[in-house]
Amino acid sequence: MDNKLNLKFKIWLEKDGKAFGNGPYELLNGVKERGSLRKAAQDMNMSYSLAHKLIKSLEERLGYPLIERTVGGSGGGGSSLTQDAEHLMQNYHAFIQEAETSLDRLFQEYFVKKDGSQ
Q: How far is the CB of 13 from a second copy (least distance, A)?
A: 6
Site string for a second copy, 76-95 (x = CB under 8 A): -----------x---xx-xx
Phi, psi values for residue 67, rounded to 5°? -130, 140
Q: Determine which residue in the list 27, 41, 106, 116 makes contact with a second copy, applying CB under 8 A.
A: 106
Q: How far is the CB of 38 from a second copy (least distance, A)?
A: 29
DSSP 8-state assignment for residue 47 = -
Question: For 99, how many CA atoms within 13 A lie in the half-sphere containing its CB?
Answer: 12
Considering the rule CB under 8 A, would residue 112 count as an interface residue with a second copy?
A: no
CA atoms of 40 and 36, how far apart (whole Å)? 6
Give 115's contacts (C-beta < 8 A, 6+ positions apart): none
**Region from 28-36, 43-51, 62-70, 75-83 binding a second copy, contact rule CB under 8 A:** 62-70
Query: Is 21 within 8 Å of 11 (Cβ atoms)?
Result: yes
37 closest CA partner among 46, 48, 45, 26 = 48
Considering the rule CB under 8 A, would residue 63 count as an interface residue with a second copy?
A: yes
Considering the rule CB under 8 A, would residue 116 count as an interface residue with a second copy?
A: no
> Contact positions toward a second copy, by CB under 8 A?
1-16, 19, 62-64, 87, 91-92, 94-95, 98-99, 102-103, 106-107, 109-111, 114-115, 117
